[in-house]
Amino acid sequence: MIGTRSLVSVVDDDESVRESLPDLIRQFGFAARAFSSAEAFLASDVLNQTSCLLLDIAMPGMSGTELQEELLRRRHAIPIVFVTATGDRTVRPRVIGQGAVECLFKPFSETALLTAINAALGTR
């Protein structure tokens, strides 16, 4: 299954996001997996299959940006789309400067999400 469709992985500590986002992503026609923490994602078996990572920034334990650095360090060049509930717009240029494809502010539209995922897949 995963081999035929691009896999989009979601890492977010918020349960409702983990429930809702994968369903929508699947509606877009991608495969989806959800993880509740950066550590759980790093420990999973999908690191190499993931074509796009939807990553929350503020999480207990390892933060989204720390995961970004860790992936760089491990040379896993997974395109990252950050999703955050913060209202602080200065976050976006910062994370994009560090190599993220996009940074979406919650709540975001499905169009914005699809555009961001497509952009991420296009960079691969």
Partner 1 sequence: MDAPFESSAEEVARLRDCLTDLASIMALPALSTGGEPGQIVSTLTDALLGMLRLAFVCVRLNDSEGGPSIETMRIGDTLGGTARSDVSFASARLGLDGELGIVVAGSWRLDFPVVTERVLLDVAANQAAIGLQQARLLQRAGLQSEQKGIMDTIPGLVAMLTPAGEVDVVNHELVEYCGQGLDAMKDWGTNGTVHADDLPRIGPVFTRAIASGTPYDFEARVRRFDGVYRWCQIRGLPHRDTSEHIARWYVLLTDINDQKRAEEALSRARSELAHVSRVTTLSALTASIAHEVNQPLSGIITNASTCLRMLAADPPDIDGARVTATRTIRDGNRASDVIVRLRELFIRKEFALEPLDLNEAAREVIALSSNDLQRNRVILQSELADGLSFVTGDRIQLQQVILNLLRNASDAMVDVHDRPRQLLIKTEREDGQRVRLAVRDAGVGLSPRSIDSLFDAFYTTKSGGMGIGLFVSRSIVEKHHGRLWAQPNDGPGATFFLSIPCASEIVADAATAVRHS
- Which residues here bind partner 1, judged by CB under 8 A? 14, 16-17, 19-21, 23-24, 27, 83, 85-88, 105-110, 113
CB nearer to partner 1: pick between 77 and 85:
85
CB of 89 to partner 1, least distance (A): 11
47 phi, psi to nearest 5 deg: -55, -40
CB of 73 to partner 1, least distance (A): 29
Rg (alpha carbons) of the chain, rounded to whole number: 13
Q: Which two tokens stand for residue 104?
A: 């979406």
Cα gap 101→123, rounded to integer Å: 8
CB nearer to partner 1: pick between 11 and 71:
11
CB of 70 to partner 1, least distance (A): 24
CB nearer to partner 1: pick between 61 and 108:
108
CB nearer to partner 1: pick between 26 and 124:
26
- Residue 43: count of CB within 10 angstroms of its CB: 10
Q: What dihedral angle (degrees, nearest 10) is formed by the CA atoms of 68, 18, 119, 4?
A: 110
User: Checking phi first, is residue 37 left (phi over 0); if not, alpha (psi -120 to 50) or beta?
Assistant: beta
CB of 12 to partner 1, least distance (A): 9
